Structure 1
Amino acid sequence: MAVDHNVFITEESIEGETAGPLAGRTIAVKDNLSTAGVRTTCGSEMLADYVPPYDATAVTRVTDAGATIVGKANMDEFGMGTTTETSAFGPTRNPADPERVPGGSSGGSAAAVAAGEADLALGSDTGGSVRCPAAFCGVVGIKPTYGLVSRYGLVAYANSLEQIGPIANTVEDAATLLDVIAGPDPHDGTTREAGADSDYAAAADGDVDGMTIGVVTELFDGADERVVETVEAAIADLEARGAETVEVSLPSLEYAVQAYYVIAMSEASSNLARFDGVRYGHRGESDGNWNESFAETREAFGAEVKRRILLGTYALSAGYHDAYYAKAQDARAWIKADFDDAFESVDAIASPTMPVLPFELGESLDDPLRMYLADANTTPVNLANLPAISVPAGTADGLPVGLQLVGPAFGEETIVRAASAVEDAL
């Protein structure tokens, strides 16, 4: 009997052009990317009936390139989660083991590719939300440099951190999708010309001879031994192909998770203030005053979203801004400086993508802190606005393990090349 992995919130076919680099390919689109005429829910009751009047730039680019969208993929509500269990439309199951989570928040996108329900997928990555599910589902996921891919049409969670990224079964396919969606966009002032003329798919040649890869000691400490062994074996494969590995230390990473969640929750509390029942989305039916109606409207948010809004509002409130938000921004600057220093002597940085194997369904729901700490290896990349890729490194106890490769700003070609060497060896 076939397992229903609950991959899609909405199954809808949106035909692409007849020709182009993605012609004949199917693609799943995370449900926080606007699709004209097709509902976009963000995995929330708040937007259960919302139908955007326009396409996100990334959506337009994939259909112009010939891809056919086959559905809007399930996700943690408003991107807030690491397991795709906070979705108002039920959890997605991991195709590698249906009793385990697929990772999050782009779990539906990664599961769609892993289960063969789409050739490719688009996700968004605020603190690891493309790389985490890619690692847990045994597929490839790329978090681009901030500014390489337009965020126009992406429902905002934390603007200064998030990027739209590709998910695919192979490094070359993920790189091909990145070629399609990358490049400046007049609708998004944060996009840059840098990298627009690159050929990421051509970089998937596996040639790492002479490449120097830094192994971050801090990101192996405390990781599951099975994960460490699998990732170390993949790094050994890179050495066998001519890469040199050196240990690097990034002491600032001790504070990355704390800094990330203060910044992300603060931005979320501001971004989600727009859901007030006046303009769009769920609206409370209270006949009382405006405050009562507003409170009733925001009951449509799930528990995890409410938690992050409250914590973010607290961190930004008078008397606490300097104690929390300002210190988190200082830590962010330190993290970026540590990466910059490391890239003076290495071409890429390697670590486990996730320090743990996929959780069992329900395992982390009652322990949010455990879920937050699982993001320890992915959040630093977003704080530093760098590119990273998760590539399958093998399996442990039959479950997928991902190797993360981080590059300097707009160094996507380097990490694609290194990831393709890992893929070839595997």
Structure 2
Amino acid sequence: MAEGLYQSPVVACPSLAELTRLSEEMRLQCTDEDLQAVREEFQEVAAALQRLSQLKQPSLPVKYPRTPGWKPDQNNPYNAWYWRCDIKGADTGKLAGKTFAIKDNIAVAGVPMMNGSKILEGYTPEFDATAVTRILDAGATIAGKANCEHLCGSASSFTCDAGPVRNPLDETRSTGGSSSGCGALVASGEVDMALGGDQGGSIRMPSSWCGIVGLKPTFGLVPYTGAMPMETTLDHLGPMTKTVADCALLLEVIAGYDDGRDPRQRPNTVVPEYSKLIDAGISGKKIGVLKEGFDVCAEPDVVEIVRREVDRLKEAGAEVEEVSLPIHLDGTIIRTPAMMYGEYKFMIQGNGTGMFWKGFYPLSLREATCRGLQTRPQDLSGDVKMMCLTAEYLDRHYQNKFYAMGQNMTMVLTKAYDQVLEQYDVLVMPTMSCKASKLPLAKARLSDILKAAQRVEKNVAPFNSTGHPALSINAGFSEGLPVGMQIVGRHFDETTVLQVARSYEKIRDMK
């Protein structure tokens, strides 16, 4: 700015009355002299913030041309698309010729992003998420953004403000959430692959109920950079595909360190060529059948199908044994504070980006979330309102006590799984405790909606807390509805998880 021109301050200096009120609210017992000193010192703080606002902020690269795309009209199968586009990546690459849907909590520059919520309606990011850039670099074409649940807050598929997403196998039923549109689009063949997100099963639940392959990778293997987070200790991005081969191929494209932009990641993480390793077979591998993973099931046919199909892995030369781990039954309980209190602090009070972590902060997303939450909080979905009220009550009366307890117990839970995985190469269990549920009526009560949207996460949510890789693959059908089998492995051992899934896929498809 030219010298002498007026420059409006970034931060207004507080009055003595404002500082007095703050001191009283915070019970600091500051004197008038103390407050005057604070006010004078604030001038230095304001000057620093003024200078900070003038520095050029970093952004994420946008490497491929695109138009804004278009909002789908009546030609929107299963109400799975939020926005359509046609963004072509590199001319060649591992994903050349593949079409993609991107979950609508993941930024694609120049394409509107709503994250299932009116709170973000009208927001268009100016950056590509790192995983999106990697997909385009590998030659794929992005066909659009897939509807997801309201701020990714539901395990079912009827909380999106663009309307419920219907299951391609039975349009009266849920796809599962929160990557609901991704599940429907891959299952119906509208796209070859999708990039989903998972904080409590949100890749694996739709994959199970739609009969496709969905992988929540090891925590931090795939950079979360450029996606709207819920809570940094739970956030994952991962593949949703028709086949295990496509899952492996997509994983090797999107995995790997992101130059310090994402604090969830470890430097120097090695990314194998998974697609070249998946057909190595599983002869001699030890597979633990997790007893408690079957005990939580609400429908006997789910138990019967998955047990039958697990036994078929013996045909591929694996050793299959039942194993018991009682703490698994407490897995969702241990995750609850991070999911509820952490999500409230991070996503709602933290305006969509949170704070106190090193990495890339998408400022435009933060501003859009802040504006939406300030102007239309009444438009939050019923289950997100429930989360806000519960978390605020717990904050006022118990501070972060239960969050701390939950994170402490996460270490215990992680160690318990690790100890079992020292004896077994993978653990298997049903992905979901039941088959796809009916979509509720439009005038359903909030209590019924909350019951339908939650309480199906008992086998998937624990592995968001512990960070173990977990894959869902279709194990068969009952009453025309898919039943998923979940395969869980050691940290950063996606290779073995994929090998077991691929071996099972071969046996299954030989029927």
Further displaced range: 160-169 or 262-271: 262-271
The question of 1:238 aligning with 2:313 is answered yes
- Structure-2 separation of matches of 1:195 and 1:216: 29
Percent same amino acid among aligned pairs?
Answer: 37
Which of the numbers 461, 483, 502 marks the counterpart of 1:401?
483
Instruction: Please identify the structure whose Cα radius of gyration is greater.
Output: 2
- Could you tell me which residue of structure 2 aligns to residue 344 of structure 1? 422
Counterparts in 2 of 1:192-207, with a 5 A limit? 192-193=266-267, 195-205=269-279, 207=281
Cα distance, 1:234 vs. partner? 1.3
- Could you tell me which residue of structure 1 aligns to residue 393 of structure 2? 314
- Structure-1 separation of matches of 2:271 and 2:76: 42
Paired AA for residue 308 in structure 2: A
SS in 2 for 1:154: coil
- Could you tell me which residue of structure 1 aligns to residue 292 of structure 2? 218
- Alignment deviations for residues 144-184 of structure 1 (CA, whole Å, 9 cap, x no partner): 00110101001011211110000100001011000100000
- Could you tell me which residue of structure 1 aligns to residue 265 of structure 2? 191
Counterparts in 2 of 1:53-72, with a 5 A limit? 53-72=126-145
Cα distance, 1:194 vs. partner? 5.8
- Structure-2 separation of matches of 1:399 and 1:90: 22
Residues 296 and 458 of structure 2 are in contact (CA less than 8 Å); yes or no, is this contact kept in structure 1? no
The question of 1:331 aligning with 2:331 is answered no
Counterparts in 2 of 1:231-310, with a 5 A limit? 231-270=306-345, 271-275=347-351, 279-281=367-369, 283=371, 294=374, 296-310=375-389
SS in 2 for 1:98: strand
The structure with the greater share of residues assigned to helix is 2
The question of 1:416 aligning with 2:498 is answered yes
- Structure-1 separation of matches of 2:334 and 2:369: 31
SS in 2 for 1:71: strand
- Alignment deviations for residues 242-262 of structure 1 (CA, whole Å, 9 cap, x no partner): 111122222212222222222
CA-based RMSD of the aligned residues comes to: 2.1
Residues 227 and 355 of structure 1 are in contact (CA less than 8 Å); yes or no, is this contact kept in structure 2? yes
Cα distance, 1:372 vs. partner? 2.6
- Ranked by relative contact order (alpha carbons within 8 Å, sequence separation 6 or more), the top structure is 1
Task: Give the direction of change, closer, same or farther, for the CA distance of 1:206–1:233 in structure 2 (3 Å limit).
Answer: farther
Which of the numbers 197, 203, 208 marks the counterpart of 1:124?
197
Q: How many residues get paired?
A: 416
SS in 2 for 1:18: coil
- Alignment deviations for residues 232-291 of structure 1 (CA, whole Å, 9 cap, x no partner): 12101101211111222222122222222221111211122244999324847xxxxxxx
Paired AA for residue 378 in structure 2: E
The question of 1:157 aligning with 2:233 is answered no
Give the unaligned 5+ runs of structure 2.
Answer: 1-73, 353-364
- Structure-1 separation of matches of 2:177 and 2:280: 28
- Alignment deviations for residues 21-40 of structure 1 (CA, whole Å, 9 cap, x no partner): 00111000000001111111
- Structure-2 separation of matches of 1:250 and 1:120: 34
- Structure-2 separation of matches of 1:279 and 1:2: 33
Counterparts in 2 of 1:98-177, with a 5 A limit? 98-177=171-250
- Structure-2 separation of matches of 1:14 and 1:299: 35
Further displaced range: 138-147 or 362-371: 362-371
Residues 140 and 391 of structure 1 are in contact (CA less than 8 Å); yes or no, is this contact kept in structure 2? yes
Residues 342 and 403 of structure 2 are in contact (CA less than 8 Å); yes or no, is this contact kept in structure 1? no
Further displaced range: 263-272 or 172-181: 263-272
Cα distance, 1:320 vs. partner? 4.7
- Structure-2 separation of matches of 1:413 and 1:76: 30
Cα distance, 1:367 vs. partner? 4.6
- Could you tell me which residue of structure 1 aligns to residue 120 of structure 2? 47
- Alignment deviations for residues 109-135 of structure 1 (CA, whole Å, 9 cap, x no partner): 111111111100000010100000001
- Could you tell me which residue of structure 2 aligns to residue 209 of structure 1? 283
Cα distance, 1:318 vs. partner? 4.7
SS in 2 for 1:389: strand
Residues 122 and 165 of structure 1 are in contact (CA less than 8 Å); yes or no, is this contact kept in structure 2? yes
Residues 348 and 405 of structure 1 are in contact (CA less than 8 Å); yes or no, is this contact kept in structure 2? yes
The question of 1:373 aligning with 2:449 is answered no
SS in 2 for 1:184: coil
Residues 388 and 406 of structure 1 are in contact (CA less than 8 Å); yes or no, is this contact kept in structure 2? yes
- Structure-2 separation of matches of 1:3 and 1:359: 22
